[in-house]
Chains A and B, each alone.
Chain A
Amino acid sequence: MVELAQNLIDGLGRGSIYALLALGVAVVFGVMHLLNFAHGELITVSGYAAFWAITNGWSWWLVVPLIIVVAVLTSLVIERLAFSRVRGASQFTLLLTSFGVHFVVSAIFLLYVSASVKNFARPAWTTQSTWALGPLQIETFDTVVIVVTILTLIGTNLLLQRTMFGLALRAAAADFDTARLMGVRSDTVIRGAFALSGLLAGIAGVFWLMRAGSTTPSAGIDPMLKGVLAALIGGLGSLRGAVLGGFALGLAEVLLRSWLPGSIAGLTEGFVFALIALLFIFRPQGFVSVAHAERV
């Protein structure tokens, strides 16, 4: 019982990060119908920024905002340089473009920085600190991740529900052409979506990098896979679904790892993929199904 509760908290912590990544993928998919396989590159680039800053003696308190700002800027730059040129193109073109961006970003770090792993010091509290809740030993790190994620989700919800920008984003996601007929500027809403997606990836990136303590040219693949998979599990295009998908993926990973016998625990990822495959056989649209207006 204690072990289960412990695992659930661990899973929620992990799932929180995935939820933030998936939400960023879903926001961009909503307005552009782009499944962004370059989403993880935001973490690659901020990872190198974190490495550079920490090597130069910055404290983590400054590295945190740096990671977030770099993720937002990277997201906007990628939109401007790559995705703005393929707006309205077929989903296949968009998909290939995002793969292209992923490879180009990796290659830039490979060529101009180094192929080797760059390690940086993690804040002490992310590894050693725990606190007791009855019989449970809860990691401070998990607690912080879960609380920050919940606050971020509340903030995102307020942004989407209460502001004209949020309203424009939702309208554009539902029916882009009609939103433009109402005067919603496509540039504003698409760049805004990329900025929001970058912000969410930046917050997720802070935790991801605190946990990893390193970065490599291909460091973006793992967070990208988690974000894209969670968005798919949740139902592509649904923001709520993406968040649910993130938490489900985190919980599935942690629970499977603890339930599988030691000899095959190394295959956890494989089992998670098998579960996802099963889900798509029975519910190909994911948890939440979204009706998309036909585009003219």
Chain B
Amino acid sequence: MITGVLIVGFGASIGSLIRFGVTNLLKAMFSKLAFPVATFFINITGSFLLGLINARLPHNTFTLAFFIAILGGYTTFSTYMNETVQLGTKKKLMAYSYYVLSAVVGIIAAWIGFII
């Protein structure tokens, strides 16, 4: 139990730092776009990779648990929701697109990762 909790914590530390780096990089690259490209990219790639490692790596191993933990910290649900709210005050249509596309593409990405 305690080991499991610590793995998730440590993975979240690494994953969050990767997210911070990727967010800064993508925000600089797409600074002119109002669409939250960074979080969208992070959540879709994270979902795909989680599907992939669950299909490929042997279950109940430390390696799988650790990679799941990193992806849990790498992706974010809270920022996704808050960006939707913020975007909704200025660009309603874009906010709805971001909201629906993230969920639909994210789930499809996890599924593709799992079946390929």
- Same complex for A and B? Answer no
Residues in chain A within 8 A of chain B (CB atoms): none
B residues sitting closer than 8 Å to A (CB atoms) are: none
